[in-house]
Every structure is written in C-alpha cells, then in structure tokens.
Amino acid sequence: MDNFTVGVVVFPGSNCDRDVSWALEGCLDIRTKYLWHESSDLNDVDAIVLPGGFSYGDYLRCGAIARFSPLINALDDFVKSGKRVLGICNGFQILTESGFLPGALTSNKNLNFICDDVELDIVSSKGGWFDNKNEKQTIKLPIAHGEGRYHCDSDTLKKLVDNELIALRYKSNPNGSSFDIAGITNEQGNVLGLMPHPERACDEVIGGTDGLFTLKSLIMK
Amino acid sequence: MDQFAVKVFVRLRPSVLDPAGEATKSASIKLGAEGIKSLRIGKMIELKIEGNDENQVREKIDLLCSRLFANTVIEDYEYSLEKL
C-alpha cells in the first residue's frame, strides 16, 4: 500500500523506535513516521507502534508516566475507529498502564534482566496478528526485559481465556508470567501487546524472521 | 488556604509475588538477622498540598493514588493526612 504509514511513537527513553522503523521500512517496505509523544495529531498515520525502551526512565513504574502523554490520550479515538496499535515490551507496559489492555507487567520472578530467544506458542489469531498462512504454531522471538512478568487476577484471566485474547504463550516461562502469557489483544483484536520483540526477528542475518508476519499485520484492515 | 502533609503508602497486593522482597529477605538473613518469616517492599510518597477543605483534599489524594501513585491491578494504597 503506497501511502499506508505506521506511526512509531518516541518517548524520552524509548530505544527500540529505530529498530521498528528499520524493520518496517527496510524489511517490509512499509512507510513509517516518528511521532513525538507530545503530539496528539494522529491524522496522517494508519497504524501505531509503541516501541520498547524505558520511557521516562521507568520512574514510578514502567509505563506509569508515559501513559499521561498527549499521544496516549489521543489513542482512545484511534483505537475505537478500529485502527491497529502494537505495543512491544515497554509499549505493552504503557498499554496496560493506560487501560487499553488488562493486567499489569511487573518485575521478573528471578529479578534478572532476561535477554534470550524464546519459543512461543500462538494461541489465538484474534485480530489476525499471528494468522500466518504456513500454519506455524510455534515461533521464536527475542525477549529483553527486567519487568516482563504479566500479572492479572483470576477473573481477568478467565476473561482472557474465554474470549481468546491470549495471543502468545511462552513454551518455557522465563519470567513467571501468569498462565505463561507473552502477549494479549483487546476484545476488538486491533490492539496487541507483547513482551517479545518481533522487530528483532525480521532478517535471517540477525537470527530469524518470525517477527515479520506480526509487523506486516499492521497494514491489515 | 490550609496546608496538609500527606504520606502515601503503596504496597504490592498480597496475591502478587514480590521477588525484590524475597531477595532482601535473603540478604537480611546473611546479615545475621534471624527469625524473619516474610519481607515485602513497598514505597512511601510524601507531599504537601494546599486546600480549603479536608474532603476536597482527600478527593485529590484518592485521584492521585488510584490513577498515578499506585497501579491498582497489582498495588494497594493507603494514606495519612495531617493539617499543618
């Protein structure tokens, strides 16, 4: 799609914004535009990525302060219009802090910062984020986080399971997440939050291409 | 205009694992402190706020706590308030 543009949000402390832009433009030929978090104008972007990093230095809690930026405030209408939002790592934390996704992300069970490639089971293709044609049910993506443990109460977990909102589960849980959850969607399916980094799995020279399909999904309607 | 001193205590909900607390408990035992059955870490936030009416101030503090100081998915909060 010639004019389709993905907005990549930049907060003070974001550090994976360039990775996302590189993956989308360099590997998928999808146009990107950086969006400074103080902007609330989302009119010329068709999908949004909240990249990984340490927005506001993770002060107070990861994503706690970023959620009050003008851009996040403007996201409500964007999401309601059905457009896609992808939150990766810190982006996922921001989506939970702002209430677009349920639950919370907190410190890893073993307290270590984990930097690894992990195998993930595709559990649901709600929203088409992982609805790949090859019928591949297990993918491998890098993770890089210290606060990636997904936590929710049992009522929320039941809702996630019943409504097929769990997108990805760890095959071998690295951080203690409830129900081995690595990624979830909202009920409409147009918002995905995940702790693994698909933008770091888009080229064989850096270890694999299992992240391509999810990023390509941003251009789906 | 009155001034109030507020102390907010934020702690993890009982059902939420506290690995930092567990690590600190291990360190406490290495220090020779015996008998520690459990240890959990929270945070304390102190602020001074102006207001004409204690109830209005309490409303503001509740807003700050529930929407910023604590993530109520994983944290509980309580606070004390003292007129200066």
How many domains are there within chain A? 1
Specify if A1 maps to a domain.
no
Question: Is pLDDT above 90 for B34?
Answer: no
Inter-CA distances, A120 with A24, A26, A56, B43, Å: 22, 25, 29, 35
Q: What is the pLDDT of residues A20-79, one digit of tens each?
A: 999 999 999 999 999 999 999 999 999 999 999 999 999 999 999 999 999 999 999 999
Specify if A204 maps to a domain.
yes
Question: Is pLDDT above 90 for A1?
Answer: no
CA pair distance A139, A118, nearest whole angstrom: 8
One of 3.90.1150.10, 3.40.50.300, 3.30.1280.10, 3.40.50.1100 is the CATH number of B2-83, namely 3.30.1280.10
Q: A6 exposed, middle or buried (CB, 10 Å; 0-12, 13-18, 19+)?
A: buried
Closest CA to A17 of A45, A55, A59: A55
Specify if A56 maps to a domain.
yes
ipTM attached to this prediction: 0.87
Return the pLDDT at B33.
87
Query: Could you tell me how many CB contacts below 8 A there are between chain A and chain B?
Result: 33
The chain B residues in contact with chain A (CB within 8 A) are 15-17, 19-20, 23, 68-69, 71, 73-74
Q: A42 exposed, middle or buried (CB, 10 Å; 0-12, 13-18, 19+)?
A: middle
Our CA-based measurement puts residue B12 at a distance from the nearest CA of chain A, in whole angstroms, of 10
Question: A167: helix, coil or strand?
Answer: strand
Return the pLDDT at A221.
67
Domain of A112, CATH number, reads 3.40.50.880
Our CA-based measurement puts residue B67 at a distance from the nearest CA of chain A, in whole angstroms, of 9
